[in-house]
Amino acid sequence: MQVTDVVVVGAGPAGLCFARSLAGSGLRVALVEPQSRQQLADAPFDGREIALTHASRQILQRLQVWERLPPAEISELHDARVMDGVSPFALTFARDRPADGPLGWLVPNHLIRRAAWNAVQGQPGLQLLDGRRVQGVQNDDAGHVVQLDDGSCLHARLLVAADSRFSATRRLLGIGARVRDFGKSMLVCRVQLERDHRQTAWEWFGYGRTLALLPLNDGLASAVITLPPQQVEGLLALHEDALGDAISRFFAHRLGRMQPVATPQAYPLVGVYAERFVAPGAALIGDAAVGMHPVTAHGFNLGLASQQRLADLISDQYARGADIADAGSLARYQRGHRRASRPLYEATNAIASVYTDDRAPARLLRAAGLRLAQGVRPFRQLIASHLTQPVAGQGA
């Protein structure tokens, strides 16, 4: 049986960044991932564009991940607009942003994955066990015995689950989760625009659909269309030109012709919030802890903050010669991440509920809500500051 300090399950962005956050700590880390090294190194384009806050950029810079991103693929976000139905009114956040910088940045998900993978190459004390799955987890007084599908076992003082919102490791730890299936699918497609998007993101709550537009460089954008799964499947079956016609109609030709330039992708919309973020000798980070509805674009940023919060706590414990799996330390991680994530999770679900309800009372409520929010300057400042604020303390 191999003995290590930390076993991390899942080499997605959260798991890789967590491993990178422990660089130089002196901790021995084993990273378990079903995909092969080649798949991780050459993560394929998956259509998803990640909206990064100022705090997230700072974390990625600290981890030397940001510098590994292709500069041409980093798109600045200067404005954000929220629209409802056919109304010409829009709630905007541009006027409250600092004059000296963007609201945030948009970066393709697969490039973040590649950059995070490259950042951990050759990291002392890190072992990657690729092509393997966790089959069982057994707790003992000294940590966890982690059984892998090749018959080997790892023993670690701390087990960290970073294996998606449908985390099998979370279940093996006996941690339940509140799952909300929104019954919709999200189609994402890179498109070339006929008209200038002015680096402005859109969130457009139509009737029977939700649309988003994420502005990219060189006149490109990511069109995001949320519909019932059968309708999304119908769009996926369309020829490129026919799909462009359909997307252009969805956006009411407000930006002219929208021509696909990449294969569209579809994802189910499911929100997940773990009942606990910790267990004896174990913790959840990333989507294994909180899987957000994408309407407020905070999921990745929360996941990145969660790994940093946990890494800071256990690194401090180790530096002081204390137990990295100390129950009190893990409880501080849980409290901190709950405070950061619970309000956003509940607010996001509430927004998704109200703004996808096409009944007459809901239509009146959502239209009134946008106008009220536009008139309340502190509200807009709060949203903008959440995007542009620097990294805060990661402790309790």
pLDDT for 175 equals 98
Distance CA 222, CA 141 (A): 49
pLDDT for 83 equals 76
pLDDT for 186 equals 92
> In 141-170, which positions are buried (b, 16+ CB within 10 angstroms) versus exposed (e)?
eebbbbbbeeeeebbbbbbbbbbbbebbbb
Query: What CA–CA distances, in Å, run from 154 to 3, 14, 113, 168?
Result: 6, 21, 25, 17
CA 302 to the chain's CA centroid: 7
Give the chain's mean pLDDT: 87
The percent of residues above 70 in pLDDT, for the chain, comes to: 83
pLDDT for 396 equals 45
Does residue 30 register a pLDDT over 50? yes
Looking at this protein, which amino acid is placed at residue 334?
Answer: Q
pLDDT for 381 equals 44
Question: Token match 């279940």: residue?
Answer: 171
Q: What 8-state DSSP symbol labels residue 95?
A: G
Nearest-5° angle of CA 298, CA 227, CA 292?
A: 20
Section 55-59 average pLDDT: 95
pLDDT for 157 equals 97
Q: How confident is the model at residue 78 (pLDDT cuts 50, 70, 90)?
A: very high
pLDDT for 344 equals 82
Query: Could you give all domains of the chain from N- to C-terminal order, each with its CATH number?
Result: 2-76+105-179+271-357 (3.50.50.60)
User: Helices 13-21 and 109-119 meet at what angle, rounded to 10?
Assistant: 30
Q: What is the pLDDT of residues 115-140, one digit of tens each?
A: 999 999 999 999 999 999 999 999 99
Section 58-63 average pLDDT: 97
pLDDT for 347 equals 76
Pick from 126, 128, 85, 78: which is nearest to 106 by CA?
78
Q: Which residue would you say has higher pLDDT here, 293 or 311?
A: 311
Query: What CA–CA distances, in Å, run from 300 to 86, 123, 382?
Result: 31, 24, 19
Distance CA 53, CA 56 (A): 5
